[in-house]
């Protein structure tokens, strides 16, 4: 029964994307079908084959091992501040961003990541018939944050039409940065974080190219030098560390604000109508949780977490969801965890618009006009990915 509900959920998500399309006759159905097949094959391998499960486990263990070296630096700076067996979120989770950002910056400077992204994106373009810039940006968004992924294609912004710009922005919002992947893995099961990062790239292309179809440009060239602007290895290390520190502080500041405001709003609602704001979000998002394949007994809990993610951000929602993981069935944990791994929230509209404003003011005005539609598109991406994952749990 849950499989049938999941299939219904897929049809609803795709149907909504089709209804919102601004050029229904221009939709590249061949590309959509190929991307769907790729996504299902990847999910099948990751969750239903011995080989895939071993690869996911090995990757998760490898990432955990690498992150353990990052804790050496955190422990050196903050040694003694955290009692044995205790945990301080800023120290145990957010400071790790500094290490992962530094590592990402190093791999970018020595062109390991840019070359991999270029050729994977190029292969995806070849088999789907989609634009090279679009597929490059989609793969690039797996590793880099919203602003960085857009900066990597800044040379193409001037000639982008509104539809191509919409796809680029949707891919950026539907992704997360690899620099904060370790922090997510401290709160959610690692296998679902990895799955969401990969599958969201494909889901973003599916949803965005349905809503804003484009034609392939034959003369596109990708310059990987746009991905990094560091001049030396030590410069890359310094830039990565400083960027990671800024991100950690920004996330900490946002969490203080959002968690406090949500508590205030919850208290206000409980005092006035006897039900909290997060509980209201649960009722609003419960139908969406149900069509994703979440058991009926968990849809209010799941809906509350999903609503918090959209209203605030993924970190706030993950903190709300983390204590519940041990009490929920694996299917619910997998679907909700996958849904949470993206930047799809209201604040991201401003971040993406601001990033493009710094490069091209004219294009930023276009982004501002479709801001809400972009958020809806990125939310559909998260819903599509989570629903597909749920079919294999």
Residue 172 lies in a domain: yes
First to last CA, the chain: 13
Residue 277 lies in a domain: yes
Count of the separate structural domains present in the chain: 1
Q: What is the CA radius of gyration of the chain?
A: 20
CA distance 337 to 314: 10
CA distance 32 to 26: 12
* 381 Cβ contact partners less than 8 Å away, ≥ 6 residues apart: 170, 174, 200, 203, 204, 206, 207, 208, 342, 344
Whole-model pTM above 0.95?
no
HSE toward the beta carbon, residue 273, CA cutoff 13 A: 8
Residue 63 lies in a domain: yes
CA distance 78 to 8: 50
Residue 227 lies in a domain: no
CA distance 46 to 11: 23
Polymer length in residues for the chain: 393
Residues 62-74 have a mean pLDDT of 87
Residue 226 lies in a domain: no
Residue 132 lies in a domain: yes
Residue 185 lies in a domain: yes
* Whole-number average pLDDT of the chain: 89
Q: What pLDDT was estimated at residue 87?
A: 67
CA distance 102 to 125: 30
Q: How confident is the model at residue 369 (pLDDT cuts 50, 70, 90)?
A: confident
pLDDT digits (tens, 9 = 90+) for 253-287: 888 888 888 889 989 999 999 998 989 999 999 99
Rounded percentage of the chain residues whose pLDDT exceeds 70 = 95
Q: How many other CB atoms are found less than 10 A from the CB of residue 199?
A: 25
**Domain with 30 in it:** 2-221+232-391
For residue 174, pLDDT over 90 is answered with yes
Residue 96 lies in a domain: yes
CA distance 152 to 146: 10
């Amino acid at each position: 029964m849950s499989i049938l509900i999941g299939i219904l959920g897929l049809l609803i998500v795709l149907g909504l994307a089709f209804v919102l399309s601004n050029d229904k006759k221009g939709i590249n159905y061949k590309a959509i079908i190929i991307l769907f097949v790729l996504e299902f094959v990847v999910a099948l391998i990751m969750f239903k084959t011995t080989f895939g499960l071993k690869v996911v486990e090995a990757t998760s263990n490898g990432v955990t091992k690498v992150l353990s070296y990052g804790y050496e630096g955190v422990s050196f700076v903050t040694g003694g501040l955290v009692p044995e067996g205790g945990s301080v979120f800023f120290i145990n989770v957010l400071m790790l961003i500094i290490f992962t950002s530094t590592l990402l910056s190093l791999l970018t400077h020595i062109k390991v990541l840019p070359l991999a992204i270029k050729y994977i994106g190029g292969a995806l373009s070849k088999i789907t018939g989609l634009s090279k810039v679009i597929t490059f940006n989609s793969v690039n968004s797996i590793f880099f944050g919203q602003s960085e992924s857009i900066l990597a294609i800044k040379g193409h912004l001037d000639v982008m039409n509104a539809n191509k710009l919409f796809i680029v922005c949707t891919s950026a919002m539907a992704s997360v940065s690899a620099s904060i992947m370790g922090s997510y893995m401290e709160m959610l099961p690692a296998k679902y974080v990895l799955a969401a990062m990969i599958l969201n790239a494909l889901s973003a292309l599916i949803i965005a190219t349905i809503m804003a179809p484009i034609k392939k440009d034959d003369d596109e060239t990708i310059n990987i030098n746009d991905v990094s602007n560091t001049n030396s290895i030590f410069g890359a290390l310094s830039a990565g560390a400083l960027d990671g520190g800024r991100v950690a502080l920004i996330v900490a500041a946002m969490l203080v604000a959002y968690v406090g405001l949500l508590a205030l709003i919850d208290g206000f609602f409980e005092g006035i109508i006897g039900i909290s704001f997060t509980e209201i979000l649960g009722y609003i998002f419960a139908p969406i949780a149900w069509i994703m394949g979440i058991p009926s007994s968990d849809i209010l809990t799941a809906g509350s977490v999903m609503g918090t993610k959209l209203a605030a951000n993924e970190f706030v929602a993950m903190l709300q969801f983390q204590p519940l993981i041990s009490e929920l069935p694996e299917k619910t944990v997998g679907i909700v965890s996958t849904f949470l791994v993206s930047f799809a929230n209201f604040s991201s509209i401003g971040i993406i618009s601001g990033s493009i404003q710094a490069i091209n003011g004219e294009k930023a005005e276009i982004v501002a006009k479709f801001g809400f539609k972009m958020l809806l598109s990125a939310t559909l991406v998260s819903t599509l990915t989570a629903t597909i994952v749920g079919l294999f749990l």
